Structure 1
Amino acid sequence: MSDVKVSSYVADPAEAQQLAGKIVLVTGGASGLGAALCHVLSSSGATVVVGDLNLDKAQTVASLLEEAGAKAHAIGFNVGDPVAAERAIEESVSRFGRLDVLINNAGTDVTLPIEELSFNDWDRVMRTNLYGPFLLSKYAARHMKDGGQIVNIASTAAKRAWPNASAYHASKWGLLGLSHALHAELRPRKIKVTAVLAGGMRTPFLLDRFPDIDINTLQDPVNVAKAVKGVLLLPEQTVIPEVMVLPMQESSWP
């Protein structure tokens, strides 16, 4: 299955400057929802730092954004590495002067029954899906002196469970808890924290693991990216701690 062609996304002219002046770091920004987020937010005027484990792919996305007239930068790093996570935040701030928005989107999964799930597999999922958002939020918050926004991309997997995905569920339920805890802790500092629970999307993350899935029941990741943009555009006096974004045809959620 090929990835959605998010590079063709063009904002309505009325939307072109809605996020002008905002510096946004998107982790896992080289493909799937991450790439969609980079294109949608960039098309709305944001300066986007594309963070990804694969630097070459991150640079490709950043180049596409720059070709469209936007400001962008690519950083290759492992979100679960404390040193690398701190350096990514510092590099973003050093290059653009500040950081307004952090989107913790990087994610991974190992689809195996628990008897076959190794410690290393479990550890990798936790480091990417849970430790990464903790580390990046910790380092980003210190730079958000005048307020900012942190968006944690969770999943409907943080509200329900299915077989052979114990590491993924544990990490996403943990991420949802972390997100709500940070909402309570950082709110007095004018830092908004939102968890976005995304339903099934037409991305390699899902399609490569479940090639027989009916793509008609999935949503375009651009639609989820637009929902995230909506969260970022809320008035200063309003915050949404949690939002769920589902495809209309998904039958596994009431």
Structure 2
Amino acid sequence: MEKLQGKVALVSGGAQGLGQQICYQLAEAGATVIAGDIQEEKAAGTVKTITEKGGKAIAMRLDVSSEESVKETIAKIKSEYGSLDILVNNAGIDFTKPILELSVSEWDAAFAVNLRGPFLMSKYALEVMSPQKSGNIINIVSTASLRAWTEASVYHATKWGLRGFSHALFTEARKVNVKVTAIIAGGMSTPFLLDRFPDIPPQNLQDPKNVATKIRYIIEDDTDTVVPEILILPLMETSWP
């Protein structure tokens, strides 16, 4: 049953990893999916997989750190489809190094993508969703927003900030019937993690598809119930609890 038939969804970082799996799940549920990413060719690959299975999707170049790129992307979606019903703030970067080796430019770049990006995306998406009096905004946070480990200062700072922003956004967006959910996801078998830490035991990670299906379930709920935050972990993740 395609519960999201007629809905329009924008997924940042939709070219690979969790973002790609979210695109697959939302398209399978009937939504028209926009895979937004700075990696245009990879985003096109995500779209190709969806359309070959009969789904509806397009790729758009999207730089979440650029206000102009965000505004143009959302304006184009509104112009072409008439609505924006689902926003998934998934794009993220990290610099894994000690504070003494972390440059100011790297710190700023991580904040621009991981925290400023979701702010920009949510701000301009809400301009579309508010008159509709409906919508879902999903923020992909991390267990890094609940604890801290060494050589990950900027990632922790951005994800702690994103969790706080998500809860604040929830209190405002619900006034116009827009639901906001923070997804606190544990380690996943994605390039984001494995490209930097290839030796992580696979049993300590979860399939990103499993996280994407939980997100789909939350979005498909059309009742007046909302899930402000959910923690999704690999069963055997060693960094939790």
Q: Name the TM-score class by shorter chain.
A: over 0.9
Q: Distance in 2 between matches of 1:236 and 1:96?
A: 24
Q: Distance in 2 between matches of 1:251 and 1:165?
A: 17
Q: Distance in 2 between matches of 1:228 and 1:192?
A: 13
Q: Distance in 2 between matches of 1:116 and 1:251?
A: 27
Q: Distance in 2 between matches of 1:235 and 1:89?
A: 23
1:150 is aligned to 137
* Within-5 A mapping of 1:1-254: 15=1, 17-144=2-129, 145=131, 146-254=133-241
1:30, distance to aligned residue in structure 2 (A)? 0.3
Runs of 4+ with >3 A deviation: none
Secondary structure at 1:151's aligned position in 2?
strand
| Equivalent position amino acid for 1:110 in 2 | F
Aligned length: 239
Q: Distance in 2 between matches of 1:111 and 1:160?
A: 16
Instruction: Flag structure 1 segments of 5+ consecutive residues without an equivalent.
Output: 1-14
1:41, distance to aligned residue in structure 2 (A)? 1.1
Secondary structure at 2:128's aligned position in 1?
coil
- Larger helix fraction of residues: 2
Taking structure 1 as the reference length, what is the TM-score of the superposition? 0.92
1:227, distance to aligned residue in structure 2 (A)? 0.6
* Contact residue 12 and residue 62 of structure 2 kept, 8 A: no
| Equivalent position amino acid for 2:145 in 1 | A
Q: Distance in 2 between matches of 1:28 and 1:168?
A: 17
Q: Distance in 1 between matches of 2:178 and 2:140?
A: 17
Q: Distance in 1 between matches of 2:171 and 2:22?
A: 25
Q: Distance in 2 between matches of 1:202 and 1:95?
A: 35
Q: Distance in 1 between matches of 2:67 and 2:115?
A: 12
Q: Distance in 1 between matches of 2:45 and 2:222?
A: 33
| Equivalent position amino acid for 1:126 in 2 | F
Q: Distance in 2 between matches of 1:47 and 1:249?
A: 35
| Equivalent position amino acid for 1:159 in 2 | L
1:234, distance to aligned residue in structure 2 (A)? 1.8
Taking structure 2 as the reference length, what is the TM-score of the superposition? 0.97
1:63, distance to aligned residue in structure 2 (A)? 1.8
Secondary structure at 2:184's aligned position in 1?
strand
Instruction: Flag structure 2 segments of 5+ consecutive residues without an equivalent.
Output: none
Secondary structure at 2:78's aligned position in 1?
helix
Q: Distance in 1 between matches of 2:94 and 2:78?
A: 30
RMSD of aligned residue pairs (Cα, Å): 0.9
Q: Distance in 1 between matches of 2:126 and 2:157?
A: 25
1:250, distance to aligned residue in structure 2 (A)? 0.8
CA deviation map 1:134-159 (0-9, x unaligned): 00000000101221110000000010
- Percent identity reads 50
1:173, distance to aligned residue in structure 2 (A)? 0.4
